[in-house]
Amino acid sequence: MPTLYHLRDGRTFIYGGADSLEARRQADRAARIAGGVDEALASGRDKALALLTDQADAAIARARTWADGEETPDPTDPASRSARLWARQARVDGEEQAAIARACVEQAAHQASRAEAGAAIALANGETQTALSSAAAEYSNQQALRSELAATQAILAQPLHETVAAGLAATAPGGVFRVRGSGSTYAIDYRNEAGAAVQLGAFPSKAYMDGIAPAVNGKVIALSRAANVDVANPVLDNGTAIRAALSEAMASGKTVDLGTDVFRMGTQWGGALAVTQTLKVRGDGGKFVATNGIGAKNFLALRAPISIEGVSFDNFAALITCDTNGIDLSDHDLVLRYINHLNCGQGLVLNTLESSRIRDLIIEGVTLEGLLNANGTGRGQGIRYQANGFRRAYLRNIFVRNCSYQGVRVGGYPHDLVLNRHIHMEAVHVDGVVSNGQSNGVQAFGSDVYMDDIFVRRVDCVDGASSNVEPVYTVGDRVSLGNIHVESAGNAQGGIAIKSSKTVQHGPIRYRTHLHPRMSAAIRIDGSDADLTKGITIEWIYEPLVASTPDGGTVDAYAVNYMRLDTMLTDTVEHYFVPHAVNTTSAPTLKIGPFGAKVMMQSTGGGRSTPASCAPTWSTRRCTSPRPTGFSSAPRSGLPTCQSSMATTTTSPCRTRLSTGRRTGPFPCERCWQVLLLRWEVRRSRSWFAGRQV
Amino acid sequence: MAFECNFDAFRHATWGGEDSLDYLVCVSEDLSQAQFAWSFATAPGGEVRIRLENAEPGAQGVHARYEADMVDPVTGKTVGGSYLIAQIDASTLKALPIAPGETDDVVLYHTLYVTQPGSPKRAECFGSLTIKQGAPD
């Protein structure tokens, strides 16, 4: 077949297999066929439309019949109804139902109306009943009051019977009668119970009321107006009357006021008055005086809270003692403020029962001054509250003088420190605690201790034999101390002994004293963390030893500042411990102490050396290391043996070297070297006092 | 735009010519002065085995004859047109290498290029020429 193609408008038209005539013929034929089809389609379409129209009209007619027909739409079903017929039926039915509902509502309204009327009637009845009941109750109440009043009038109107028997005879069983009293009792009421008189109560007499009125009226007992208390007679023993007044105050919860008067208590006072209820004593210069000897009477025994303020005492032993262990006053305070006690036997507080418990111990503005025995010892302790279990101890402005054993002590032994809380000590001055044994200036044992402005002097054991002499001694988990001044006080364990896991120095510490036979240390610290960086001055004066030393050759009385420490160092072993231990059993002998001891010995014969031997004119020594003759304790272990020439010859190189001051030959052992240092320090000190430098 | 047109031939007879039905009619264009180059290759882009160029009627090649009274097959108007008549002699067809097997047809791929005077060469049509073996004469 030929292929016809036509390139036109950039496009190729292919006419495959026919020429133009054939193509036209075929086209014409196709057109004709198509036209026939169109005619057939149009005819069919017309027929279909006619059919659809007929069917639609029929459906519409049926729908209309079902919707609003007045007749039964389905002749085959007589029960069928059109929508119109159904609506009509519904309207008829609804009207009937509405009528029924309306009737029900009207019936309910009628019932409600009847109920309301009934309620109104009931309410009216109830109010009436309530009013009647109230009236009856009021009437009964009035009758009861009248009866009570009549009974009272009858009692008051009854005569006072002279005797109980007369009262019983005149009274029926169950009745009450009154019998005349005597003295401070005006009358006593009884009840006749089956012929027996049972006392109901008593009335005080006018005389009694007049007598006690000034004392008991109000909340204060004026002690000078208390019964049988006479402040005008200076020789009268008011002990019994004062005890009664104090007991009365405890029982009634009143405060005893001394005013400015002086109250004397002799043998009538007996032992310490047990304070079983809170006792408050106040004064404005008033004084209690124990008249039967010094230190013979204790004043109070602590069993209940005590508060004393503004009162002076003379000649007592302990003002407050504790006779009962285990008392628990953990909700109460012991307050002692502005108290003077002269010629005291035991001072303010004496309590060594460590299980006592209180809340706060407040001691402020207290002056205690005792008398010395013939041998120089004091007669009693100052403030000794050696008990554990307090929340806070506050001590301020306290002056204690001439006591024994304890100047001021707060807290029990350290094993119960956990029970003691904070201790605050401020401005506590102790002058003189001298005893035959233990002597302590200021002691504080608590968990948290603060000490400031502590001045202690003359704390010593009178015969020097006690190992427990501590001018200042504190134990606590945390201790802060400063402005501590210790003067002329001996010590054994340490002039200032601190046992604390954390010690902080907040102010300067000065220790100035004579060299004491039993001295071991100026400051002793037992603890892991000591921050002593606020200045420490230690000043020793050993003049008395020089004067009593036979080995010194001559009495060369002088005083030197042996050691003056003011250092930032905290190495207690090397710097704060005084390197002396002096044996006074015979001639003064320096022993080798446990910490940094400096051995002094004579070069001739190996004899003991004394502080006087350290004078510049005394320059010969020798060493017989490792254990010089005459030294009572072994030298420290681990030291190197001195060079042989120094140890065996009397004219040792050691002596020569020390004399000339040249460091030639073998190096000296540690002891010789310490001797050299000590001698040099003494020389320097003398030169210092002489106004010239070495 | 070139169009595809496939032809069949028999190995032992001349293909095309004045009496053949295998000719092209280009409506409304006079190609009597055009240059023809009709290539038959073994594959698209392959080796050309037969090349037909302008030739006289009755000879192997291509010639065009313009007839001015040709009617457009669509519009029916007289627009004129050109008959493109190609001829491949039987000897040429016989000389073509035969693929393995005597019965195999030889299929060549052709492209007709037309260059009107003053116009660039254009590809007119393309397609295949299947040379059937047929029965030997």
Q: What is the pLDDT of residue A514?
A: 61
Residue from A1, A3, A8, A15 whose CB has the most chain B CBs within 10 Å, to mutate? A3
User: B55 pLDDT exceeds 90?
Assistant: yes
Q: Considering only the beta carbons, identify the residue of B24, B71, B74 that sits closest to A2.
A: B24
Q: What average pLDDT score do residues B50-70 get?
A: 93
Q: What is the pLDDT of residue B112?
A: 95
Single-letter amino acid, residue A604 = T
What does DSSP say about strands B81-88 and B23-27: parallel, antiparallel, or unpaired?
antiparallel
Rounded CA-CA distance A443/A284 in Å is 31
* B chain contacts of residue A2, beta-carbon cutoff 8 Å: 21-25
Q: Give the model's confidence band at B31: pLDDT under 50 very low, under 70 low, under 90 confident, else very high.
A: very high
Rounded CA-CA distance A120/A126 in Å is 10
User: A653 pLDDT exceeds 50?
Assistant: no
In degrees and rounded to multiples of 5, residue A275 shows phi and psi of: -90, 100
For residue B70, being part of any structural domain is answered with yes
For residue B46, being part of any structural domain is answered with yes
Which residues lie below 8 Å from residue A70, measured CB to CB, with a gap of 6+?
A: A82, A84, A85
Q: Considering only the beta carbons, identify the residue of B3, B22, B76 that sits closest to A5.
A: B3
Write out the two tokens for A110.
């009628």
Rounded CA-CA distance A429/A447 in Å is 22
List the one residue out of A259, A257, A264 whose CA is nearest residue A231.
Answer: A264
Q: Mark yes or no for CB contact B27/A18 under 8 Å.
A: no
Rounded CA-CA distance B87/A220 in Å is 158
Under a CB-based contact definition with an 8 Å cutoff, are residues A275 and A251 in contact?
Answer: no
Q: What is the pLDDT of residue A269?
A: 94
What single-letter DSSP state applies at residue B72?
A: P
Q: What is the pLDDT of residues A586-621, one digit of tens each?
A: 333 333 222 222 333 444 554 544 444 443 333 333
Domain spans of chain A, in order of start: 3-62, 158-204, 216-575, 589-689
B50: domain range? 3-132
What number of H helices and E strands is found in chain B?
1, 10
Angle, CA of A267, A273 and A279, to the nearest 5°: 135
What single-letter DSSP state applies at residue A22?
A: H
* A chain contacts of residue B76, beta-carbon cutoff 8 Å: 20, 24
Cα B77 to chain centroid, rounded: 27
- In angstroms, what is the C-alpha Rg of chain A? 59
Q: Give the model's confidence band at B84: pLDDT under 50 very low, under 70 low, under 90 confident, else very high.
A: very high
User: A223 pLDDT exceeds 50?
Assistant: yes
- Is the minimum CB–CB distance between B95 and chain A shorter than 8 Å? no
Shortest CA distance from A21: residue in chain B: B73
User: A673 pLDDT exceeds 70?
Assistant: no
- Is the minimum CB–CB distance between B27 and chain A shorter than 8 Å? yes
User: A443 pLDDT exceeds 70?
Assistant: yes
Task: Give how far Cα A251 sits from Cα of A106, A277, A288, A391, A556, Å.
Answer: 83, 7, 21, 27, 70
Among residues of chain B, what percentage have pLDDT more than 90? 59
Q: Which residues pair with A457 in a beta bridge?
A: A431, A487
A322 or A490: which carries more pLDDT confidence? A322
Write out the two tokens for A538.
């230690």
Instruction: CATH number of the domain at B9, please.
Output: 2.60.40
Q: What is the pLDDT of residue B103?
A: 66
Rounded CA-CA distance A382/A408 in Å is 6
Q: What is the pLDDT of residues A510-548, one digit of tens each?
A: 887 765 555 666 777 777 778 888 888 877 654 333 333
* B chain contacts of residue A14, beta-carbon cutoff 8 Å: 3
Q: What is the pLDDT of residue A628?
A: 39
Q: What is the pLDDT of residues B3-27, one digit of tens each?
A: 889 999 998 999 998 888 888 989 8
- Is the minimum CB–CB distance between A8 and chain B shorter than 8 Å? yes
Q: What is the pLDDT of residue A670?
A: 52
Q: Mark yes or no for CB contact B27/A5 under 8 Å.
A: yes
Under a CB-based contact definition with an 8 Å cutoff, are residues A521 and A491 in contact?
Answer: yes
* B chain contacts of residue A13, beta-carbon cutoff 8 Å: 27, 74
List the one residue out of A527, A471, A515, A518 whose CA is nearest residue A495.
Answer: A471
Rounded CA-CA distance A403/A663 in Å is 54
Q: Considering only the beta carbons, identify the residue of B1, B21, B71 that sits closest to A20.
A: B71
* A chain contacts of residue B31, beta-carbon cutoff 8 Å: none
Write out the two tokens for A97.
């139902």
Q: What average pLDDT score do residues A551-561 get?
A: 32
For residue B61, being part of any structural domain is answered with yes
* B chain contacts of residue A5, beta-carbon cutoff 8 Å: 3, 24-27, 125
Q: What is the pLDDT of residues A370-424, one digit of tens each?
A: 988 887 788 889 999 988 888 999 999 999 999 999 999 998 875 556 678 899 9
What integer best gives the mean pLDDT of chain A? 73
Rounded CA-CA distance A68/B97 in Å is 95
- In angstroms, what is the C-alpha Rg of chain B? 16
Rounded CA-CA distance A290/A295 in Å is 8
CB pairs under 8 A between A and B: 55
Q: Mark yes or no for CB contact A11/B1 under 8 Å.
A: yes
Q: What average pLDDT score do residues A308-317 get?
A: 95
- Is the minimum CB–CB distance between B29 and chain A shorter than 8 Å? yes
Q: Give the model's confidence band at A308: pLDDT under 50 very low, under 70 low, under 90 confident, else very high.
A: very high
Q: What is the pLDDT of residue A291?
A: 93
Q: What is the pLDDT of residue A663?
A: 40
Q: Where are the beta strands (DSSP E) in A546-605?
A: 582-583, 589-590
Single-letter amino acid, residue A599 = V
- Is the minimum CB–CB distance between B68 and chain A shorter than 8 Å? no
Residues 9..28 of A with a Cβ closer than 8 Å to B: which?
Answer: 10-15, 18-21, 23-24
* B chain contacts of residue A31, beta-carbon cutoff 8 Å: none
User: What is the least distance, in Å, from the CA of A29 to any CA of chain B?
Assistant: 15
Rounded CA-CA distance A343/A505 in Å is 36
Rounded CA-CA distance A587/A611 in Å is 12
Count of structural domains within chain B: 1
Write down the residue that tokens 């006092």 correspond to: A689
User: What is the least distance, in Å, from the CA of B102 to any CA of chain A?
Assistant: 28
Q: What is the pLDDT of residue B56?
A: 93
Residue from B8, B23, B26 whose CB has the most chain A CBs within 10 Å, to mutate? B26
Q: Give the model's confidence band at B129: pLDDT under 50 very low, under 70 low, under 90 confident, else very high.
A: very high
- Is the minimum CB–CB distance between A3 and chain B shorter than 8 Å? yes
Q: Which residues pair with A368 in a beta bridge?
A: A341, A400
Rounded CA-CA distance A178/A167 in Å is 7
Rounded CA-CA distance A19/B26 in Å is 11
* A chain contacts of residue B73, beta-carbon cutoff 8 Å: 4, 6, 15, 18-20, 23-24
Q: What is the pLDDT of residues A345-370, one digit of tens each?
A: 888 888 878 788 899 999 999 999 99
User: A208 pLDDT exceeds 90?
Assistant: no
Q: Give the model's confidence band at A323: pLDDT under 50 very low, under 70 low, under 90 confident, else very high.
A: confident
Single-letter amino acid, residue A110 = H
For residue B84, being part of any structural domain is answered with yes
What does DSSP say about strands B61-67 and B81-88: parallel, antiparallel, or unpaired?
antiparallel
Under a CB-based contact definition with an 8 Å cutoff, are residues A399 and A337 in contact?
Answer: no
Shortest CA distance from B77: residue in chain A: A20
Q: What average pLDDT score do residues A165-169 get?
A: 91
Under a CB-based contact definition with an 8 Å cutoff, are residues A227 and A221 in contact?
Answer: no
Burial (CB < 10 A; 0-12, 13-18, 19+), residue A542, is: buried
* Total count of residues recorded for chain A: 694
